[in-house]
Amino acid sequence: MLASIRDLSLSLVGTLSSVQANYYCMRKFPFIPKSSLSLSPGDFWGFKLKDGTWACGRVLQLRKSGPNSRMWFFGALLDWNGAETPNADSIAGAKALRQGTMHIDSIKRTGSHIEGTRSLKLEGIEPWLCISGNDVQRGNEYVRAWNVRTPGITDLCVLARSLHLGFCKPPFPWCVPGSR
């Protein structure tokens, strides 16, 4: 049944991106992603901290195209900590603590795997506004050009950098929590 739905979709649309195909195909959890093509927004993974407890990361957005789109995604570290690996029920209500561009190895090299998926809408999690080079982005998606001379934005940049917001240092995006 699923194969016929997928075949029908392929004939109607042309080709499906792997992200769209994930919604038509049943994924089995847990799994170790080989590239971001096997990920979907809402996927989560756990990783052990030095004190033996667990933290949790979430996939927020995938790059649609471009260089390294198979290896990079926009993700979040949740404000969550537990004695066991995270599951869809245990992370309910957890908000994003930090967001940024992440490499697929941020999952693989921590000995982690994708534990499951949970809709981002349930917690109201969405990508924050980021400044990347000369662009203002919401996650990976372009919003508008960034002008350093915009009144007040220089102060915002200095504050954000002094607080070390985001996972990556330039040239990768850094993000401002709660920005709209």
The predicted model gives 21-36 an average pLDDT of 78
Which one is predicted more confidently, 86 or 176? 86
In terms of domains, do 12 and 95 share one? Answer: no
CA neighbor of 70 nearest in space, from 103, 115, 43: 103
In terms of domains, do 37 and 121 share one? Answer: yes
In terms of domains, do 11 and 92 share one? Answer: no
Domain coverage including residue 6: 1-26
Distance separating alpha carbons of residues 30 and 32, to the nearest angstrom: 7
In terms of domains, do 172 and 107 share one? Answer: yes
What's the pTM?
0.70
DSSP 94: P
In terms of domains, do 76 and 110 share one? Answer: yes
Q: How many domains does the chain have?
A: 2
In terms of domains, do 104 and 165 share one? Answer: yes
In terms of domains, do 18 and 62 share one? Answer: no
Q: Which of 19-33, 48-62, 65-79, 108-122 has the lowest mean pLDDT?
A: 19-33
Percent of the chain scoring above 70 in pLDDT: 67
Distance separating alpha carbons of residues 102 and 90, to the nearest angstrom: 23
pLDDT band, very low/low/confident/very high, at 177 (cuts 50, 70, 90): low
In terms of domains, do 90 and 172 share one? Answer: yes
In terms of domains, do 117 and 98 share one? Answer: yes
Q: What is the mean pLDDT of the chain?
A: 77
At 150 the pLDDT is 54
Q: What residue type is assigned to position 46 of the chain?
A: G
In terms of domains, do 16 and 38 share one? Answer: no
